[in-house]
């Protein structure tokens, strides 16, 4: 990530990415918005994460991405990556390694 961004700036990027993907207004998205309520499915999520990774030049680990349920989860995760901190990964589910 080249220039550190504030949480508000990251939120706006996330809201814009979600709004663009789902053709909804960014104003309708808050920190507490849940992705399932916004109609974001797994394919949408991949596109949104890709766009944010490109814009912020960070890599969101797959395991962390799967645990993100709300806009706040993503904003906080990106904030940590932007500050060079590690994202706390949820414990791997049994058999998760066999996925893919």
Partner 1 sequence: MVPRRRVVITGLGVVSALGVDRPSFWEALCAGRCGIREIEGVDTSSLDFRHGAQVRVPAERLPDREDQMLDPTTQIALLAAREAVADAGLELGDAQRERAAVVLGCAGGGKVTEDDAYARLYRDGKKRFHPMMVPRTMANAGASRVSLEFGIRGPVLDIATACSSANHALGQAFWYVRDGVADVALAGGHEAYLSLGNLKAWDALRVVAPDTCRPFSKGRLGMVLGEGGGLLVLETLDAALARVRRSTPRSSASA
Listed ranges 4-12, 53-61, 83-91, 92-100: which one lies at the site for partner 1 (CB under 8 A): 53-61
Please tell me whether residue 92 binds partner 1 under the rule CB under 8 A: no
Residue 60: CB minimum distance to partner 1, A: 11
Residue 94: CB minimum distance to partner 1, A: 26
Q: What gap in Å lies between CA 25 and CA 5, rounded to an integer?
A: 22
Q: Which is nearer to partner 1, 46 or 89 (CB)?
A: 46
Burial (0-12, 13-18, 19+ Cβ within 10 Å), 95: exposed
Q: Which is nearer to partner 1, 30 or 61 (CB)?
A: 61
Q: Which residues partner with 70 through β-bridges?
A: 34
Site for partner 1 in 32-51 (CB under 8 A): 46-47, 49-50
Q: Minimal CA–CA distance to 48: which of 14, 10, 1?
A: 14
44 part of the active site: no
Residue positions annotated with a catalytic role: 41
């Amino acid at each position: 990530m080249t220039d550190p961004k504030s949480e508000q700036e990251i939120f706006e990027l996330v809201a814009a990415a979600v709004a663009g993907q789902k053709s909804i207004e960014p104003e309708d998205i808050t920190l507490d918005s849940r992705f399932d309520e916004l109609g974001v499915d797994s394919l949408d999520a991949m596109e949104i994460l890709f766009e944010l990774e490109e814009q912020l030049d960070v890599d969101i680990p797959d395991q962390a991405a799967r645990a993100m349920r709300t806009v706040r989860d993503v904003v906080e995760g990106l904030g940590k990556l932007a500050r060079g901190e590690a994202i706390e990964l949820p414990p791997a589910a049994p058999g998760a390694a066999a996925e893919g």
